[in-house]
Amino acid sequence: MIRRFWPAMTWAILILILTGVPGSYFPEVRSFWQWASPDKIVHLLIFGVQVFLIILGFKPQYLNSKQRFKFVIGATIITILYGLVTELLQSYVFIGRDGNIFDFLADAVGAFLGLLAYYLLKMKKILHQNIN
């Protein structure tokens, strides 16, 4: 069972490494209006992939619909909390990094986009199975 979690765990480690790299390597965003900067797009993508990999690791298709809903929401919350932890680590632990509320918001939005991607792909698969 733990084997299914290797992609999500590996991705989480990659996120931790990327968030620990000194800040001079990344552009700094100081306002909400710079939201669509490359930095925010990266946050959206990496946390979207994280929630997607967590959901796939648990194979929620084996759960009933009520259990599956609770599970995918839990996976999304875990990913959002992980985004908060990475921002706190940047503020208080990592040298040369500063946590940023806008980065955290991008992490959270990315988690929800990963959840949306999971459901869209799941619906596409269901629709494809019904056609054939």
Q: How confident is the model at residue 5 (pLDDT cuts 50, 70, 90)?
A: confident
In whole angstroms, what is the distance from residue 126 CA to residue 113 CA?
20
Q: 7-12: long-range contacts at Cβ-Cβ below 8 A with a sequence spacing of 24 or more?
A: 7/53, 7/56, 7/57, 8/50, 8/53, 8/54, 8/56, 8/57, 11/46, 11/49, 11/50, 11/53, 12/50, 12/82
Exposed/middle/buried for residue 76 (C-beta within 10 Å: 0-12, 13-18, 19+): buried
In whole angstroms, what is the distance from residue 60 CA to residue 71 CA?
7
- Domain boundaries of the chain, sorted by first residue: 38-131
User: Per-residue pLDDT tens for 36-66?
Assistant: 678 888 999 999 999 999 988 876 556 777 7
Name the average pLDDT for the chain: 83
